[in-house]
Chains A and B, each alone.
With several copies, the nearest count.
Chain A
């Protein structure tokens, strides 16, 4: 079971209409090679789950600019004017989610939980359409799990079994997304032999990773 595949082979799995989680925070920790491959392949009608839509020339932002995104679940679009334009023009559906709630919903999806109660968003429009539950006299919103067909992950280092190590603030959403999708494709800047990553230093266990694509250093 060799998990290392060519970019082309990995891209075969990405189809029109899919729900795709993409790691990164303003492009930091986003697998750019996979993104570029998706653009070249020309998939469309995607639902993207990502912290933000980055910048027009960076990461998730490029998918938006290339009009491949039908729906996006994200916490911030302010750095990519094209997302706002498409939203106002009714071309792309934008669902804004508080960042902590977004992260927790993804974790919740991967962890097999049915939902969680958060104080975030109480008394704001984020409440709309959600159940409110009172615990010990404090109100919480019931937020539901998020899952995806595919998660695109950027790792600093991978071993051949898919154990991943991230670097600095490029970690962000990657570890939780790697647990919440049916198929997980990791773009790794460096691929090492099994055993070269200390089991105590693994940040995403290889059991979550289906395919590894060699990224640019």
Chain B
């Protein structure tokens, strides 16, 4: 699978996870793409941590408004019924549990649901932005990432080695290989991409996967 196909699969699968009426915050990068695949029948309200709910699609060329961007600085729109607020209110919303789902990228996730996605010491220190608050505050934390690093190393570990973004907050990990739930007992492979075998997925995963009897196929439209 090429990179784009992988990403499309991941974000399409995550889009299925969103329920009608959910308030959702999408991280920068791949997570942002989830918005493109929400089923027409569902009304999802997207929150943008720079200060609004009702994040809409990118405007047509020439229609950009320099006072209206997403948290990545890209021009966006606001849907009718949206609302603007200041940053303290934005994070009151996020930290206060008023966001149902956040979708974030990851450098590493581990079997306890620990997440590392904001720095590589001595190499890359962009800062955590709103990720720590989102991870702690959102009711459900979904990780959207490719199953392994560019070098092919596992990113789903027994224990994260990079500085954490948050402790034991991840609920679900979606990669091109499958859908993994973080439970008290460990990581459960709920769905598998039929292009892979269970053994192949386990081989690319450092943490031990629990394989349930009702393991399903990872299906997207």
Would B81 and A206 count as touching, CB distance under 8 A?
A: yes
Determine, out of B164-172, B174-182, B185-193, B211-219, the stretch whose residues face the partner at the interface: B164-172
- B86 contacts A75, CB within 8 Å? no
The answer to whether B82 touches A199 (Cβ under 8 A) is yes
Across the interface, do B168 and A123 meet the contact criterion of CB distance under 8 Å? yes
Chain A residue with minimal CB distance to B54? Answer: A199
Distance of B18 from chain A, by nearest CB (Å): 14
Number of B positions contacting A (CB below 8 A): 58
Question: How many Å lie between the Cα of A94 and that of B81 in the bound state?
Answer: 39
CB-based contact B83/A124 at 8 Å: no
Give Cα A44 to B43, complex, Å: 37
**CB nearest to B70 among chain A residues:** A169
A47-69 interface (Cβ within 8 A of B): 51-52
Find out whether the CB atom of A122 lies under 8 angstroms from the CB atom of B86.
no
A176 within 8 A of B: yes
Contacts of A205 in B (CB 8 A): 53, 83, 85, 93
The complex places the Cα of A96 from the Cα of B125 at a distance, in Å, of: 9
**Most chain A CB atoms below 10 A, which of B23, B87, B94, B163:** B87
How many pairs, one residue from A and one from B, have CB atoms within 8 Å of each other in the complex?
200
- Across the interface, which residues of B come within 8 angstroms of A206, CB to CB? 53, 81, 83
A111–B130 alpha-carbon span in the complex (Å)? 15
**Which residues does chain B contribute within 8 Å of A126, judged by CB atoms?**
128, 132
Which residues of the other chain, B, contact A163 by a CB distance below 8 angstroms? 81, 83
Kindly state the separation between the CA atoms of A179 and B50 in the bound complex, as whole angstroms: 19
In this complex, the interface size class of chain A, counting residues with CB under 8 Å from chain B, is 35 or more
With A124-B167, A176-B87 in contact, is A78–B45 under 8 Å at CB?
A: no
Q: Is the CB of A169 within 8 A of B84?
A: yes
Given contacts A113-B95, A169-B51, A195-B80, contact A84 B85 (CB under 8 A): no
Q: Please provide the chain B residues from 44 to 85 with a CB less than 8 Å away from any CB of chain A in the complex.
A: 45, 47-54, 65-69, 71-73, 78, 80-85
- Whether A1 and B166, one on each chain, are in contact in the complex, defined by CB atoms closer than 8 angstroms, is no
Task: List chain B residues, Cβ under 8 A from A94.
Answer: 125
Asked if A110 CB lies within 8 Å of chain B CBs, one says yes
B45 and chain A: residue at smallest CB distance:
A207
Asked if A172 and B86 sit within 8 Å, CB to CB, the answer is yes
Which 4 residue pairs spanning A and B have beta carbons closest together? A78-B126, A123-B167, A100-B91, A195-B80
A–B pairs, 30, beta carbons within 8 Å: A25-B69, A26-B50, A26-B72, A28-B68, A74-B127, A79-B126, A84-B125, A96-B128, A98-B131, A99-B49, A99-B133, A100-B95, A100-B130, A101-B132, A110-B92, A111-B91, A111-B92, A118-B95, A119-B137, A120-B137, A123-B167, A124-B132, A124-B164, A126-B132, A169-B50, A171-B84, A179-B92, A194-B80, A202-B83, A202-B85
